[in-house]
Structure 1
């Protein structure tokens, strides 16, 4: 689009965590960029749940400009409590944990605060839903143009699709619709939220400072994940979310069973979804289901949460001025908690690679993007397959329980008191 001697201008489609981290990295390396986000504002949608920043903390900070506030103080979901991030894993009567240590520090971040931190001094165009990507001929100077639903366009030298599971940019890159590359994981995920206060809050923190999970004690039918979204400013209550995950080979994700009949979740009301969750977990130790029993029907997610990953072989990802990161290239289930970390790995790698560019020379850009894509396709594909398999492990099957990039280690439960967490 411009002079070959000028540094490229990068268009990032999607203002989630991966896209914003890439934008910060490009700022660090003095590569101009814009972020285009389909939401009308930062609060247009529920901001999502908490996320663990573990093995990549230093790598993330290495590409962050100096004008951002300190990370932990800005995003830690346990603030204002004096507690370290910790997940408790309960299986077959045993307790194991992964927790933050000085040797392996972990920050469990409130997603909204983290997104806000990553938005610092980044140009974000809100209300921009991409509909089409156009690549200009290299013999005419090259470049890319993105078309948006509101009739506007944006021109640049490189487009990065960070637009999530249902990526419009992926459809352009692969030249086939998402329905041909994505498949629903055969699992029903019921989701609810509840605020826990006083002694009930302390009981949740004792099970796991940040979150905990446990599985069906009878027949390995399901597992429960309970996570803390954020602590109230007063420090005496917290907002929790929970996921009840059960394998269901008939579930196709489109409201139907595999035989074409209607799946029960397609017509279930919120009260019925909550009743199903309570019935399924009725044989479990009540301490693990207290947050479910504290949930009202109004705080249930409508229908099941459909989780998709890539079913097609995308090892032949074409190399052009349009590339992908995060869920746009390797969506995966949350059963190992690795999706966001791989989006961060992508963003860090791409920021460092593009940061080396001193011109808009196409052969150099092609070489950089080709090497980047080769690495992310292999790594992301391996992680997606491991995450899908974790559905069996988490439900009580054989295998090592992993969280936040580490195997869980046996640890006794420690009772949390307000006196101990306010000092």
Structure 2
């Protein structure tokens, strides 16, 4: 495998450490997390991470599951293109609208997924020079601005730096509470890019100038057209057998704490450990191992889903330690550092 940090780092070619900042009303300075020997942090760019994970794996893209068959002897998947795959174990890591989960639980995604009452508008913009540097100073990788008095909060982040080391693609997520966001007649269902941007610019007018800048620099063409409806998933139990769930298929969560991918990696490592001990022809051995995996995965996943659910999640990170957090992972004061671009 290529070196993970070098292969996936979204800040490359910059030499800055990965850093996520939190800004709260009434607090001078900022809290957050920064890559260090004591607490290594890798902020991976999605495409680069997928490429790294694909190393030496012959992936067949474009497959869509039509049917799953399994019994004590094995499991098979039938795809929409008519092809078929057979094996000992099927791992359903097929996302929030998992077809494998629907088959395994005999319940639709619409029935299982819970609406998160939050309206979101997303924008992307390329920045360079001093504007690029100012965003990096707010948070090398990302930052959260929470201000309940103005009725919304913002997540801003660097998608990736460009090879010149003086520019990069940034994105932002404007979010506010809205219990009706999924209604068919909600204004965001049909709003144009210009209408969304105008709405955001009016809302952010009360923000300090340094936090407004990324919104004001974004053209209407940089506003995502599709509505963003957040949903999450809590599962109480999952049958133990040859069909297994992991990642968003098992515990889809909102991105407010940035833990979705993290828990998927834990799922994969835990599952690898328990399956490494079983005889693939012994169904009772498989059931016992998968039951062990399911119990730990569901307890951990449900806690993460609940902690990630509300728009208060970022603020609660300041004051609450979940069962899965150690003191080392709690946010700490981050000093201001002058950034020099090459």
Give TM-score, length-normalised by structure 1. Answer: 0.76
Between the aligned partners of 1:340 and 1:402, the Cα distance in structure 2 is 20
User: Who is 1:309 aligned against?
Assistant: 232
Deviation string, structure 1 residues 219-242 (Cα, Å, up to 9, x no partner): 4x2111111111111101011111
Between the aligned partners of 1:305 and 1:202, the Cα distance in structure 2 is 29
Alignment of 1:18-417 (within 5 A): 68-92=1-25, 93-94=27-28, 95-136=30-71, 138=72, 142-216=73-147, 218-219=149-150, 221-251=151-181, 253=182, 255-256=183-184, 262-310=185-233, 314-389=235-310, 391-394=311-314, 400=319, 406-417=329-340
For structure 1, list consecutive stretches of 5 or more residues without a partner in the other structure.
1-67, 257-261
What is the Cα deviation at residue 413 of structure 1? 2.3
Q: Retained in 1: the 8 A contact 2:317–2:331? A: no
Counterpart of 1:102 in 2: which secondary structure? coil
Between the aligned partners of 1:149 and 1:402, the Cα distance in structure 2 is 45
Number of matched residues? Answer: 336
Deviates more, 1:273-282 or 1:160-169: 273-282
Counterpart of 2:270 in 1: which secondary structure? helix
| Shift in CA distance, 172/359, structure 1 to aligned 2, threshold 3 Å | closer
For structure 2, list consecutive stretches of 5 or more residues without a partner in the other structure.
none
What is the Cα deviation at residue 275 of structure 1? 1.1
Counterpart of 2:212 in 1: which secondary structure? helix
Give TM-score, length-normalised by structure 2. Answer: 0.93
- Alpha-carbon RMSD: 2.0
| Shift in CA distance, 178/201, structure 1 to aligned 2, threshold 3 Å | same
